[in-house]
Structures are given as structure tokens and as C-alpha cells.
A and B are shown apart, each in its own frame.
Chain A
Amino acid sequence: MSWSDIFSALVSGFSHLTWQSGFLILLGCVLLYLAIAKGMEPLLLIPIGFGVILGNLPLAGLAASDEGGVLNIIYKAGILTEIFPCLIFVGLGAMIDFGPMLANPSVLIFGAAGQFGIFLTLLLALSLGFARQEAVSIAVIGACDGPTAIYVTSKYAPALLPAVSIAAYSYMSLVPIIQPPIMRALTTKAERQVVMATGEKKISKRVKVLFPVVAGLITMLIAPMGAPLMGMLMLGNLLKESGVVGRLADVSSGALVNIVTLLLGICIGSAMLAGNFLQWQTILVFILGLVAISLDTVAGVLLGKLMRVITKGKVNPLIGAAGTSAFPMSARVVQKEGQKANPRSFLLWHAIGANTGGQIGSVMAASVMLAILAGMGIPPLS
């Protein structure tokens, strides 16, 4: 072996670097910057950003598609099998407090309105020429729910997984920027100033324990295709509310969800390769995802206005915007906007109720879509 062979072996990483992979490595660095310097969803964006860098390093064998590579093994075991989204839902269930929704169940209806954008975006994606499976996966970004979007996409359109998951998680973190202008545009100042009763009705422990079991059974019997997600969400909540398995609840809402989020993020990042990411299709996915979340907000606020009329002014229409499942970001946005319009207004309690309703609504909407796809015999895309 000559010195020139040794030298070329040592610089092979640089010599195989293309401008496309260089661009994505730069994108990974931007994600790291946003996470660390701007505090945008750091739990997700740091693993995703670093995953993008690792996946695009030439000759490293760390892309999710590099057969036999360490990230390929994790990707296949955790994402393609849909295990990661399900485990995240256990943690999410253990973190969620359904109390505000149980105290005021009528806010659950906002959880349905918050899914309207999903279906309008589906029609839009179909009209733009996306295959049915792809259109469904893109539309689910509107659920504002990363694990659900990953679950549906990995099942039906795995090629879109990097774009859909990045869009879903990015828009979740951008909810405080996306929602307020829509909320202000659709409501008058008088509507935003409405003060809602803050009774904070107390709920018995029995109801809190029974809810995940009963609601889980009902929703899973109606839409069994979503049972892996809904079942895990309700299991996590039961662990928390039962009060007898504190260790399991702590592990679910802490270590488990943290480990899975780390692995999920790094795998998704490493799947973002120049060849499959730098395409018009990816840009369209991002645009449609934004449309979906905006339409969810529009539908929620409009339902809020209707509820205000029906209840003769007792409902602040802003809480409709919390019907998405971006938990608890949407609820915080509603509280902030309500306080801006009227410092005496405290909407957080009601908004959290609508937000948890959105969590259930998004899983239901995705489950129904999966059921229809299966019922029509539409096969997953390879």
C-alpha cells in the first residue's frame, strides 16, 4: 500500500461528500441550533438534528436505510414495527390529566372540530396527485400529534416518514406562532374577552380511574385499527390514576418516554437523506401540513363561535383552537390570547380540557382512516 492510498483512505469521507449530503448536514446543524439556542422542542430536535448529521455522513453506514447499520436495526425494530409511537403513547397517557375534560365534558366536542383540517387536507393532497396512502399520511400531520403521524405513515407510506414526522413535530413546536393570527382574525375583541366560569369542579377518584378503562373500551371497539395507540394512551393514564403503581407511572412518563423519544428522533433524522428529502414532494408535504394545522384551528374557533351563540355568551371561542392534540401547547396559546384580550380571563382550565379531547379525537380520526383504508383493501406502499 502506497502513501497515496493511505492518504486517500484517510480523506475518503471528504472525497465522498456531495453537496446534497453537505446541505442536509447543514440542515441538521440548523435543527441543533434551533433546539439549543432557541429552545424549540429540544427533546426532539437535538436527536433529530444529530440523526440527520449521522445519516448523511458518507461511508459511515449510519443512515436508517444502511442495511445492518446500528441505526438501521433500531429503525426497523422501533419505527417500521410501530413500537416507538405506541410506547410514547404510554408515556403520554401517564403525563396527561383528563381532569379538566372530565369536569366539563362538553369541551370534548372541540376535539372533533380540531380534526377537521385533517380531512380537508386529505382532499387537497389527493387533488395534488398524491397516492391515497400518501394523502392520508400527509393529512394526519394535521392531528398535531407526532406519534400518530408516525404510526399511520410507517404503516401506509414509509417513504414519506422522514418528511411527515419532521413536519408533524416542527409544526407542534410552531403552534404558538401558527395559531394566534388565525384566532385573532376569526374573532372580535368582544368575543376574545369573554370570561368563562372557573368552577374547577372536582371529580371523584373512581371516575378518574374508570375513564381510561371505559373510554378505551368504547373507542377501541368503535375503531379497532387505532387500538395500539388508544390502548397505550389509556394504559398510561390508568397507571397514573390508579395510584397503586407509582413506579410504573413514573417510569412511563419519565425514563421510558425519554429513551423512546431519543431513539425515535435519531432514527427519523438518519432517515432524512439527500436522495429522498430534497424533492418537491417534501416541500409539498410541509405546505400541506401547515394547511392542515391552520384549518384545524379555523374549524375549532368557528365551532367556538357557534358554542358562544348557543350558550348565550358563556363560551369564549378561543378555546376551540385548543381542540388540536398539540398538548399542552395549544392550551397555553389559548390562555395567553385570552389574557391579552382580557387580563381577568383564565381559559387554561377549559383549554386543557379541549386539548385532551383533541388528543383522543386525533387518535380516533387516524383510526377511522386506517379502518377505511383496510376496509377498501388499499395496500400499504412499499
Chain B
Amino acid sequence: MKDWAFGLTMTLAGMGVTLITLYILTLVIRLMDRLFPYKEEKKKEGN
């Protein structure tokens, strides 16, 4: 019984934290992309 409680705690916390962390990362990536959007690099003259 104790092992099942341990297993379920691990499953809920593990999946929950992994899911939330990855979701936070998606938000952070979107934010960074807005702050620093891709711009075509200008070719340096003389190259």
C-alpha cells in the first residue's frame, strides 16, 4: 500500500512538474521570439 502511494505520488508529481515546466518553456520561447525576432543579416560589404 505504501509503495502504491509512493508510486502514485511520483507519477502525479513527475508528470505534473514535467508538463508544467515544458509549458513554461514554450511561453518563454514565444516571449524571446517576440523580443528578438529574426532579421535577415546584412551582408558585410567587401566580403
Contacts and interface: CB of A to CB of B under 8 A. Distances in A.
Most buried by B among A203, A207, A360, A369: A207
B25 A215 contact: yes
A106 B26 contact: yes
Contact of A369 (B10, B28, B33, B36): B10
Interface in A104-119: 105-106, 108-109, 111-112, 115-116, 118-119
B46 interface: no
A108 B15 contact: no
A266 interface: no
A372 interface: yes
A367 to B, nearest CB: 8
B17 A357 contact: no
B14 A108 contact: no
B1 to A, nearest CB: 11
Contact of B14 (A118, A201, A214): A118
A136 B38 contact: no
Given A122-B7, A122-B10, A112 B18 contact: yes
B8 to A, nearest CB: 8
Interface size class of A (residues with CB under 8 A): 35 or more
A109 B22 contact: yes
Interface string B19-47: 10111111011101100111100000000
Contact of A136 (B10, B19, B29): B10
Nearest to B34: A207
Contact of B25 (A204, A218, A369, A376): A218
A102 interface: yes
A206 B39 CA distance: 11
A119 B25 contact: no
Contacts of B11: 119-120, 122-123
A126 interface: yes
Contacts of B33: 102, 203-204, 207
Contacts of B14: 115, 118-119, 365, 368-369, 372
B23 to A, nearest CB: 7
A207 B21 contact: no
15 contacts: A105-B29, A108-B22, A115-B15, A119-B10, A119-B11, A122-B7, A204-B33, A207-B33, A210-B36, A218-B21, A222-B21, A223-B21, A360-B25, A361-B22, A368-B13
Given A108-B29, A369-B10, 13 more contacts: A105-B26, A111-B18, A112-B19, A115-B14, A116-B15, A126-B3, A135-B7, A204-B38, A218-B21, A361-B18, A368-B14, A368-B18, A369-B14
Closest 7 CB pairs of A and B: A119-B11, A105-B26, A105-B29, A206-B36, A202-B38, A112-B19, A123-B7
Interface of A: 101-102, 105-106, 108-109, 111-112, 115-116, 118-120, 122-123, 126-127, 132, 135-136, 201-204, 206-207, 210-211, 214-215, 218-219, 222-223, 357, 360-361, 364-365, 368-369, 372, 376
